[in-house]
Amino acid sequence: MGLKNPEWYRESLRDGRKLYIAGESIPDVTKSEWFTVAVKNAAEDYVYDDPATRDIRTYVTEEGELAHRVFKIPESEDDLHKRIAMGEITSITTGVSAVLMALYNIKDKVAKVNGQYAENIERVYKYCRDNDMRADQCITDAKGDRSRHPAQQDDPDLYMRIVDRQKDGIYVRGAKLHITAASLVHEQTVMPTKAMGPGEEDWSLSFSIPTNTPGIKIVNRAYAHPNLSEMDYPLSANHNAPEGFVIFEDVFVPWDRVFLAGEPQLAGTLAQSLGLWERIGGLIAMCNRSKLMVGAAQMLTKYNGINKAGHIQEKISDLVNYAEMLRMALESAIRNYKTTETGMVYPDPVATNVGKFYGASNFHAMIRHLHDMSGGLVVTMPTEADLANEEIAKPLQKYLHTSNDHKVDDRVRMYNLIRDFSADSYGGWELVTTLAAGGGLAAQRIMTMREYDLEGAEKVALAAAGITGNGHARV
């Protein structure tokens, strides 16, 4: 019980879990080169004795114990700000564990349908919180033919489902795709990918089980290859975490770990409980990246002597507008927070979804600006090793020179930052992830249309047009 430490975390990953990457199995994830950075970053979240981060990283539970802040149910605007501050110093492996906080918050709705499920949610939440464990958000199904319901698919396993029910538990089969940090967490926390209807009882499924449960295999894909040079890859050499393709081959789940098993009316509630938190996370990340883009454009154009050119000023001002719109959306989402019946505070859904949509749908245009201002060296800059090779170092330095006001090394580093962020394998990952993670653009449109005060807008238009009465007839 209680807060753990980095050594405990590393040891906890040596539990026989079945992991794969690049066609090979990983016997010990803490020794895999592919995971060196991700394990190190996740382990750092277990450093609780640093006075500079201890208060940001922890909170006192209602039982009076210290726990990681990722489990804190926000009860005020201040809690939301503290959550954002915690996110700034937290790895993605710990960040995704918010799944248990989101589940805990809807346990009262779940209790109205099945008291046992609600008790299970509370027990698993407290078990992970009090033992400082991590859990992933195992939601997105394979989904097969998108135009068909789960039961209509050629293969019924394309959405995870219950294949057998026994006295002591259920057997489940299926796969969950793109799961962030799946190989680095203690619990695979499974939720339905979408709302389900009558006839979809076997697909209305949620539970949490340890990652080393027999029958679970996780196939990883990483954008960052092992041992990247920090000079050539300033971002991805220090921050990366593979995503997992999590396969469940007739996995046994005991009843006390089941949150949903056959009640379609709850599937949508569970599926949506996390969406908002995923999107506010996406919005925070885009705010940080947009400021980085403004800074990189400023510095590189200064190094290249073009920062005063009209078309450059225009492009940088577009980047500034982008960054400011995102910052304002985030601020508005936090300031106009909402409160649930149970007292949980959450960011305004309209501002969150509008902000995430705006950021994701304009990101690629901002990258185009960045590339247009930077030129071809974004992709052809010689590497750190080339610049250190005595035979070629001198001419490389000579021809990479722009002005005595700037060092060649600084110019190289700024190009490397832009390439890593936007034009190499991490950059490609970022282009897709900005759109897809937290649901694609259509998902945000749906939420905005559901949450926006359309009726209020109709009233404004009716009044402006001089239409009175019930809104349909001119009086």
Ligand X SMILES: Cc1cc2nc3c(=O)[nH]c(=O)nc-3n(C[C@H](O)[C@H](O)[C@H](O)COP(=O)(O)OP(=O)(O)OC[C@H]3O[C@@H](n4cnc5c(N)ncnc54)[C@H](O)[C@@H]3O)c2cc1C
Give 146 or 308: the residue with its C-beta nearer to ligand X: 146
Give 40 or 445: the residue with its C-beta nearer to ligand X: 445
Shortest spacing between CB 384 and ligand X, in angstroms? 27
Angle, alpha carbons 306-311-314 (nearest 5°): 110
Helix ranges (DSSP H) in 375-471? 377-380, 384-388, 390-399, 408-422, 425-436, 441-451, 454-464
DSSP secondary structure of 40-91: HHHHHTT----TTTHHHHEEE-TTS-EEEGGGPPP-SHHHHHHHHHHHHT--
Shortest spacing between CB 140 and ligand X, in angstroms? 4
Give 115 or 428: the residue with its C-beta nearer to ligand X: 428
Give 375 or 428: the residue with its C-beta nearer to ligand X: 428
Q: Strands 19-21 and 216-221, how do they pair?
A: parallel
Give 179 or 251: the residue with its C-beta nearer to ligand X: 179
Shortest spacing between CB 262 and ligand X, in angstroms? 21
Helix ranges (DSSP H) in 89-114? 92-95, 98-105, 107-113
b/e sequence 198-219, b meaning 16+ C-beta within 10 Å: eebbbbbbbbbbebebebbbbb
Angle, alpha carbons 224-226-232 (nearest 5°): 65
Shortest spacing between CB 296 and ligand X, in angstroms? 22
Shortest spacing between CB 222 and ligand X, in angstroms? 11
Give 141 or 319: the residue with its C-beta nearer to ligand X: 141
Return the closest-CA partner of residue 98 out of 331, 347, 421: 347
Shortest spacing between CB 96 and ligand X, in angstroms? 6
Q: Which residue has the tokens 């970053």?
A: 41
Give 96 or 287: the residue with its C-beta nearer to ligand X: 96
Of all residues in the shown chain, the one whose CB is closest to ligand X is 139
Shortest spacing between CB 138 and ligand X, in angstroms? 6
Give 140 or 362: the residue with its C-beta nearer to ligand X: 140
Round to whole Å and give the CA distance between 322 and 305.
24
Shortest spacing between CB 156 and ligand X, in angstroms? 17
Shortest spacing between CB 447 and ligand X, in angstroms? 13
Return the closest-CA partner of residue 304 out of 411, 416, 378: 411
Q: What CA–CA distances, in Å, run from 432 to 69, 74, 208, 437, 440?
A: 29, 30, 28, 8, 10
Give 145 or 256: the residue with its C-beta nearer to ligand X: 145
Spatial contact of 19 and 48, defined as CB atoms under 8 Å apart? no
Handedness of CA 117, 119, 122, 126 (dihedral sign): negative
Which residues in this chain contact ligand X in the complex, by CB under 6 A? 96, 137, 139-140, 143, 146-147, 178-180, 243, 432-433, 436-437, 439-440, 442
